[in-house]
Amino acid sequence: MDENYVFEIEDATWGQQVEDSEKPVIVMFYSPTCPYCKAMEPYFAEYAKEYRASAIFARINIIVNPWTAERYGVQGTPTFKFFCHGKPVWEQVGQIYPSILGNAIRDMIQYGEECIRKTTPVGQDITGYV
């Protein structure tokens, strides 16, 4: 992966690099032994280079950073999650056609901000359990 455009993040740096980002952040959750992740990496790096002015591209190894993967319900790799102002707004799991990923990235950069504005946050204290 082109390290100039795709940042490696960890549980410890997640908040600063994703939640506090002013730009949209596209994260690839991966594991080093995942063949589908390896197949998607060149395309992810290509999109990172293409959209570097509009979004942050990062990847996180779920094997050594299980807390973040669990926090966001990642159950398979690769999982691509899009964050706007630190909030997850879209995800895609598995190896997909690169054009689908590219279109999703373009759309999230273009419309993700609007999605956040039209979303009502739900407090963490709301639960279905009594």
Q: Return d(Cα 68, Cα 13) in angstroms, integer.
A: 10
> For residue 93, is it within any domain?
yes
In percent, the amount of the chain with pLDDT more than 90 equals: 57
Is residue 52 assigned to a domain?
yes
- Please give the residue that has the higher pLDDT: either 19 or 2: 19
Q: Does a structural domain hold residue 84?
A: yes
pTM score, whole prediction: 0.83
The rounded mean pLDDT for the chain is 86
- Identify whether 130 is part of a domain: no
Rounded CA separation 28/77 (Å): 8
Mean pLDDT calculated for residue range 34-52: 94
- The CATH number assigned to the domain holding 56 equals 3.40.30.10
The string of pLDDT tens digits covering residues 102-111 is 999 998 888 7
Range of the domain at 62: 5-116
For the chain, the domain total comes to 1
Rounded to whole angstroms, what are the CA distances from 77 to 54, 63, 64? 25, 11, 14
At 45-69, the pLDDT tens digits run: 999 999 999 899 999 999 999 999 9
Question: 98 in a domain, yes or no?
Answer: yes
Asked whether residue 25 is domain-assigned, the answer is yes
Would residue 122 count as lying in a domain? no
